[in-house]
């Protein structure tokens, strides 16, 4: 096994291990107290990566397995490349990085997640749309490729085959045929979808949107950077809040900024795979659903969301 000084991951998940790595690579931050922010320790080593606060001013990202280090290395490359594009104004400032071990140190951005009453602020919706428009600008993809970087295709939580095969045991009998119908519809839509290929953030949920004083301050987390259908980056928005009003406001501004159309069918197809895929992996892993609900609750909420989307913009709904 390579020594700690030559391998790109730290040897264990602990504040002291992170502190030792930071001290060795960034002496100016050596005295900062380390506060780990790792929600849960996954069994799969690809997820053995996390963040820690360094005092009140900085955040460090790190990995503690070889598999996770590969993913963190990809995120490091993506962040450094995006830092030279028009999207950089929405990113946390990268203060320093290292490769052995892999560390990404950014300036800490104060704020709160984009959730709850915040969603009713039209300026937040405009900001989110503008950030997406900046990221999805064709020039950004060209600039990334000019750096010799070709991000992968997006990888949502599960494909429809996995959902059909494994979610059944967590469903009530009344939902079995409904979920299968949604999966069949999603397959048809995605087989014919022609969304524009753009750089994608890939994980644009409310907790990666930092808001303060009525404005979007920052977009966090770049481990899911990919290239694909522009609808993909909107996949979480139908589920933000109790209605789809935030989604509608973001889409209106996004279309105005980009001249690009957002179609409800491909947007919903990605949303279905996201919601059902998230319910699947959490249920299999014994991890509680984020809002404390059940799979039954999520299916009921998704059904209501589909109806609201059809009222917002007419389409051949599942």
Length of the chain as a residue count? 318
Let me know if residue 221 belongs to a domain: yes
Residue 311 is predicted with a pLDDT of: 97
Whether residue 161 is found in the same domain as residue 234:
yes
Whether residue 152 is found in the same domain as residue 283:
yes
Whether residue 125 is found in the same domain as residue 167:
yes
Let me know if residue 136 belongs to a domain: yes
Residue 3 is predicted with a pLDDT of: 44
Whether residue 255 is found in the same domain as residue 278:
yes
Let me know if residue 5 belongs to a domain: no
Walk along the chain (318 residues) and give the pLDDT tens digit of each residue. 444 557 899 999 999 999 999 999 999 999 899 999 886 666 788 889 999 999 999 999 999 999 999 999 999 999 999 999 999 999 999 999 999 999 999 999 999 999 999 999 999 999 999 999 999 999 999 999 998 999 999 999 999 999 999 999 999 999 999 999 999 999 999 999 778 999 999 999 999 999 999 999 999 999 999 999 999 999 999 999 989 999 999 999 999 999 999 999 999 999 999 999 999 999 998 888 988 889 999 999 999 999 999 999 999 999
Let me know if residue 7 belongs to a domain: no
Whether residue 139 is found in the same domain as residue 242:
yes
Let me know if residue 157 belongs to a domain: yes
Whether residue 56 is found in the same domain as residue 117:
no
Q: At what angle do helices 264-285 and 295-312 cross, to 10 degrees?
A: 170
Q: Which residues share a beta bridge with 97?
A: 104
Residue 42 is predicted with a pLDDT of: 65
Q: How many domains does the chain have?
A: 2
The tokens describing 89, both together, are 């104004």
**Domain boundary pick from 89, 107, 125:** 107
Whether residue 120 is found in the same domain as residue 229:
yes
Whether residue 92 is found in the same domain as residue 186:
no
Let me know if residue 26 belongs to a domain: yes
**Domain boundary pick from 107, 133, 161:** 107
Query: Do the Cβ atoms of 243 and 304 come closer than 8 Å?
Result: no
pTM attached to this predicted model: 0.94
Whether residue 189 is found in the same domain as residue 207:
yes
- The region that residue 306 occupies, defined by phi over 0 for left and psi between -120 and 50 for alpha, beta otherwise, is alpha
Cα angle: 307, vertex 312, 317; to 5 degrees? 45
Concatenating the DSSP letter of every residue in 93-122 gives PEEEEEETTEEEEEE----EES-GGGGG-H
Residue 1 is predicted with a pLDDT of: 43
Digit-coded pLDDT (tens) for 84-136 = 999 999 999 999 999 999 999 999 999 999 999 999 999 999 999 999 999 99
**Domain boundary pick from 44, 75, 107:** 107
Whether residue 235 is found in the same domain as residue 300:
yes
Let me know if residue 176 belongs to a domain: yes
Residue 258 is predicted with a pLDDT of: 98
Let me know if residue 51 belongs to a domain: yes
| CATH number of domain containing 86 | 3.30.200.20
| CATH number of domain containing 223 | 3.90.1200.10
Whether residue 84 is found in the same domain as residue 20:
yes
Whether residue 194 is found in the same domain as residue 158:
yes
Cα angle: 154, vertex 156, 162; to 5 degrees? 130
Residue 186 belongs to what domain range?
A: 112-312
């Amino acid at each position: 096994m390579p020594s700690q000084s030559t391998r790109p991951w730290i040897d264990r998940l602990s504040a002291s291990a992170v502190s030792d790595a930071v001290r060795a690579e960034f002496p100016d931050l050596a005295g900062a107290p380390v506060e780990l922010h790792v929600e849960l320790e996954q069994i799969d080593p690809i997820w053995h990566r996390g963040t820690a606060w360094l005092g009140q001013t900085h955040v460090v990202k790190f990995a503690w397995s070889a598999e996770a280090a590969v993913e963190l290395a990809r995120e490091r490359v993506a962040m450094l490349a995006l830092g030279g594009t028009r999207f950089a104004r929405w990113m946390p400032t990268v203060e320093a990085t290292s490769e052995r071990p892999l560390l990404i140190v950014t300036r800490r951005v104060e704020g709160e997640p984009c959730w709850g009453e915040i969603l009713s602020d039209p300026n937040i919706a405009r900001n989110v749309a503008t950030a997406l428009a900046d990221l999805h600008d064709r020039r950004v993809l060209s600039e990334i490729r000019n750096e010799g970087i070709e991000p992968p295709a997006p990888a949502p939580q599960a494909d429809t085959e996995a959902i059909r095969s494994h979610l059944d045991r967590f469903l009530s009998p009344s939902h079995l045929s409904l979920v299968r119908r949604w999966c069949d519809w999603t397959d048809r839509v995605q087989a014919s979808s022609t969304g524009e290929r753009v750089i994608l953030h890939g994980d644009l949920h409310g907790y990666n949107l930092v808001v303060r004083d009525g404005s979007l301050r920052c977009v966090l987390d770049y481990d899911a950077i990919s290239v694909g259908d522009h609808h993909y980056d909107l996949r979480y928005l139908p589920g933000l809040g109790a209605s789809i009003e935030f989604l509608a406001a973001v889409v209106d501004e996004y279309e105005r900024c980009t001249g690009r159309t957002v179609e409800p069918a491909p947007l919903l197809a990605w949303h279905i795979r996201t919601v059902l895929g998230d319910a699947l992996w959490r249920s299999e892993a014994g991890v509680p659903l984020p809002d404390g609900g059940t799979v039954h609750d999520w299916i009921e909420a998704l059904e209501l969301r589909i109806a609201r989307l059809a009222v917002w913009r007419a389409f051949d709904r599942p």
